[in-house]
Amino acid sequence: MTFFKNLVHNYEYATTKLNDPRTTDWFLMSTPWPTIAIVTAYLIFVYGGQKWMKNRTAYSLKDAMLCYNFCLVILNAYIFYEYLVSTWLNPKFSKSCQVMDYSNEGLPLRLAKVSWWFYFSKIIELMDTVFFVLRKKNNQISFLHVYHHSTMPLLWWTGVKFVPGGESYQCASINSFIHVLMYTYYLLSAMGPQMQKFLWWKRYMTTFQLIQFWWILGHTLHAMYVNCDFPIGFGFALLAYDFSHIVLFSHFYYNTYTKKARAKKAETDKNLTNGTTEKHSSENGSTTTRRK
């Protein structure tokens, strides 16, 4: 009982004393339970939805996907713009070591608001998997996909609740830019086969994502090393989370591109070798015939 009492006490202390008072009354921010419920429902749907669709015809959903991807391009472009104005283009904002500013006006408040939009966008993006399930694209529903989508809302609820600013700007601003490119790709892909010739850059999307994670890792290590007076616990949490993505995305990149490219090259070399052997055999047969 003592353990649970301490757990409840620490939770109440954190959510009432350590939280950012500016964000407390914002939508979904008073407690973590709505976000936890949404993520739980998402995970149940991922598992149950695939079983439910097993013997059913896949839905097309082309118009819904076009609308959805277009809206996500616009939303992420807006989020990136707001981060750009409130941090990258703000001469008073340190790009390498920025402390939390809890001011309730001006650019610090603008930064807190766009951090909430970034968090909320991660809830909207759970629809990615819903579309996969309803279209029976189960090969797209990998562990990496579900892990990323189910953990981002929880991570960023914590970020907006306690530190919607300071060093947390880095990963959100870069990620929103990457998602502008990603949902543009999805939008073009949803338009149909005639757009395939414009989608040659899929491989580079994964490369951009890996660069993003390494950049965030280096930046976070630097900020912790020089001591930016930013809660160090969030720094360690971000390092662990970011490193897990580096491992998973590197594994995905290897299996999807490097391994397949090697297998294709080996198959090509094998065919060339077999073709050469058959040619020599044919030539030797012709020579034997002529000699007879």
**Predicted confidence (pLDDT) per residue in 167-225, tens digit:** 889 999 999 999 999 999 999 999 988 888 888 888 888 999 999 999 999 999 998 88
Q: Where are the alpha helices (DSSP H) in the chain?
A: 2-13, 33-53, 62-83, 106-124, 127-134, 143-162, 169-190, 202-226, 232-253, 259-291
Is there a domain that residue 43 lies in? yes
Q: At what angle do helices 169-190 and 106-124 cross, to 10 degrees?
A: 40
- Return the percentage of the chain with pLDDT > 70, whole number: 84
pLDDT confidence bin for 113, thresholds 50/70/90 = very high
Block residue for tokens 């991807």: 69
- Both structure tokens of 217: 């890792």
Residues with catalytic function: 148
Report residue 215: phi and psi, to 5°. -60, -50
Higher pLDDT, 10 or 229: 229
Block residue for tokens 């954190």: 14
Is there a domain that residue 26 lies in? yes
Side-chain half-sphere exposure of 239, counting CA atoms within 13 A: 13
Beta carbons of 246 and 210 less than 8 angstroms apart = yes
Average pLDDT of the residues in 77-92: 96
Q: Name residue 88's amino acid.
A: W
Instruction: Tell me how many domains the chain contains.
Output: 1
Q: At what angle do helices 62-83 and 127-134 cross, to 10 degrees?
A: 160
- Return the percentage of the chain with pLDDT > 90, whole number: 67
- What are 236-240's contacts with CB under 8 Å, separation 24+? 237/155, 238/171
Average pLDDT of the residues in 222-229: 85
Q: At what angle do helices 232-253 and 202-226 cross, to 10 degrees?
A: 160
Higher pLDDT, 39 or 292: 39
CA 136 from chain centre, in angstroms, equals: 21
Is there a domain that residue 289 lies in? no
Average pLDDT of the residues in 29-40: 97
Beta carbons of 159 and 115 less than 8 angstroms apart = yes
Q: Which domain covers residue 245, as residue numbers?
A: 18-282
Is there a domain that residue 74 lies in? yes
- The neighbour count for residue 257, using CB atoms within 10 Å, is 14
How far apart are the C-alpha atoms of 41 and 49, rounded to whole Å? 11
Report residue 98: phi and psi, to 5°. -110, 125
pLDDT at residue 292, as a whole number:
47
pLDDT confidence bin for 71, thresholds 50/70/90 = very high
Give the chain's mean pLDDT. Answer: 87
Q: Name residue 6's amino acid.
A: N
- Residue 56: left if φ>0, alpha if ψ -120 to 50, beta else—which one? beta
Block residue for tokens 């299996």: 255
Is there a domain that residue 9 lies in? no
**Predicted confidence (pLDDT) per residue in 130-145, tens digit:** 999 999 999 999 999 9
Is there a domain that residue 113 lies in? yes
pLDDT at residue 13, as a whole number:
42
Residue 288 has pLDDT above 60, yes or no: no
Is there a domain that residue 225 lies in? yes
CA distances from 264 to 67, 167, 259 (A): 36, 44, 9
- Residue 54: left if φ>0, alpha if ψ -120 to 50, beta else—which one? alpha
